[in-house]
Amino acid sequence: MDNVIASDVDGTLAFGEKSHGIRVLEENDKTYVVTTPDSSTTHQAYSVSTDKYKVYLALETRSLLRTLAGRHDIVLATAARPSTVYTRRESFDFVKTVVLENGGMILDSNYEIDRGWEAELEPQRKYLREVQAQLEGKGWVLDHEGRTSALRVRPRDNPHKGEDEFEELRREIQLPFELKKTANFGCLDIILEGAGKENALRYLFDREGYTETRGIGDDINDMSFLDITNERFVLRNAEQEVLDLARKREWFVSKKPYFEGINEILQHILMS
């Protein structure tokens, strides 16, 4: 297949109680009735939650993606760790490939690790452990459990440090050449230099020979992978910085946020 849709997940396909203000109005057998902060519209949704976050995928979004999967390969590009991706596997049954840990790992449709990509990044992994030891030695609490290719520093895990100290770390942290930093939902992510959603997707696009590429995202760390696609889509619920850049570059920005926004984008692709 020549066509591919690469999409971020949290904040793009699925939305959370804490991160996006999603409210659950009713719980049924396997689905939920949910609504968003700025709309009276309700949606039937599946839970794609983790141990830490309550997150929901609308049934309509899943149905649209299943339809699109007949014409396009669907690739997820997420910062999530493997355990989160495996938990969501049943709900995301339309997926061809998953890029996770901000490009640090690639899983195929059978959720088997892409060994070629793993080997390419392997020499850089040892530097993560060195940076982890340095940060923990300075009193930072890291969210690294279950991650193979990334470290995360979350403000809520470090209330003893304060907002100013966290912002200084995010701006000034010195990393070895083999690592780099990125941002996701206000967190500092430290990833492998050869990783990044854009590098992993470029590897996939080249290997699979995709000629028609579309990208969907909402966060600042999605901008670089959207740049390498032919057609770009951004959710209205994105940060203002992302919206400003998307409009300046004349990318498609949904009229509405959250569930209605992603469904608008998917319907646009389906009709194009």
pLDDT digit string (tens) for 30-42?
A: 899 999 988 889 9
Enter the pTM of the model.
0.92
Residue among 100, 120, 102, 124 nearest 111 (CA): 100
What's the rounded mean pLDDT across residues 228-245? Answer: 96
Q: What confidence score (pLDDT) does residue 52 get?
A: 82
Q: 124-133, pLDDT tens digit by residue? A: 999 999 999 9
The better pLDDT of the pair 225, 38 is held by 225
Distance separating alpha carbons of residues 119 and 146, to the nearest angstrom: 19
Q: Where in the chain is the domain with CATH 3.40.50.1000?
A: 3-118+195-271
Q: Superfamily for 3-118+195-271?
A: HAD superfamily/HAD-like (3.40.50.1000)
* 3-state SS, one letter per residue, for 18-36: HHHCCEEEEECCCCEEEEC
Amino acid at 7: S
